[in-house]
Structure 1
């Protein structure tokens, strides 16, 4: 019976992921939409900065991310247009900014690919079936490298290491549910809500002192 229950849970999870895959929705757009602070379809460096601050990142990391991300992605999302020194990222074309040496969880149209998501854990999770350690994460990044794709190496390293630093649990594990949530952007909303709640509670405590 226990085995049957586990199988049902696995099937349920698999079905959930397949439903996402069966939808032609560009999930990559949802991944970045959190950083479009005024919801105009364009992300400027100051919005990237504000987004990183909202999820709890420090000023240095937020500043670095805003420069690195916008400078790296702006031109790719604005094909045929003159370079813009404000480095705007156009969300409607975000799939064009997909770099190499990645996990393949997003396809070329920005859609979620369930089988590639599951491969992250079937191939690289050794300590826990549904989580990655720092070493396992490094192993995955190395395995995904395309020869001489230095830009892709750097992009993947930055993305995953920032995620690990921000979201690892007390045991140093990056959980599967956390990784799944980052792909559709829901993780950012949850982190921002938690930070806002903590800030509010701290303010109330200060007022009561």
Structure 2
């Protein structure tokens, strides 16, 4: 709970005890939003060997889905990216529609809607919605202490891991008033994250989630799937 003026919880607000914030983070300036690296206690320099290409962390999160690297993500590219990490055709199809329809207009560099629903990576920060974790700031930087808070507040069963129930509890706790789009978007995004990153025990790990935030996890999953498919092909020969 901290000492003196630095107390982080009070019995008069029991929720501050139920959801503690991190008080000891052993890396430089955890409060400072990082433009290029997704930094946490275990990775104070970000993802080792990951080329961020100068994109903000939020841009890195979506860059994987820009399959032709032109800075614009069309629905068919979102679909292809979802398929590349292992989602089935039906879920990928409907998710691609929801994602691009929901995020396209606010990222357009012009006022007239585009019926192809492109998402412009350069303006992806404008697609930040309410009722989210706050790990991305309004410019798309990564805020380390907000990321660490997810685990001190909501990871109760096992340290640095979340069950599906804890994950849903987290999305409920993050809701702000009169924000139905944010409520839906937050749950939808985290359910997709859970389906992608859960282990054999049905838990998602802190490191996997950090990799989703900076997009590196998508590349890791795609690479692993390609290697597995190649190994199967060689066995059949």
Q: TM-score, normalised by structure 1?
A: 0.88
Does 2:158 match 1:131?
A: no
Match of 2:41 in 1: 14
Match of 2:139 in 1: 109
Q: d(CA) in 1 for partners of 2:157 and 2:102? A: 34
- Residue 200 of structure 2: SS of its match in structure 1? coil
Structure 1 residue 201: Cα displacement = 1.1
Match of 1:179 in 2: 209
Q: RMSD of aligned C-alpha atoms?
A: 1.6
Q: d(CA) in 2 for partners of 1:25 and 1:33? A: 9
Q: Report matched runs for 1:35-184 at 5 Å.
A: 35-184=65-214
Match of 2:233 in 1: 203
Q: TM-score, normalised by structure 2?
A: 0.78
- Cα shift readout 1:80-137 (whole Å, capped 9, x = no counterpart): 4210110000000000000110000000000000010001011001011111011110
- Cα shift readout 1:27-56 (whole Å, capped 9, x = no counterpart): 100000000001000000000011011111
Structure 2 unmatched runs, 5+: 1-24, 28-39, 47-53
Q: d(CA) in 2 for partners of 1:14 and 1:124? A: 17
- Cα shift readout 1:44-77 (whole Å, capped 9, x = no counterpart): 0000011011111110011011100000000010
- Residue 74 of structure 1: SS of its match in structure 2? helix
Structure 1 residue 25: Cα displacement = 5.9
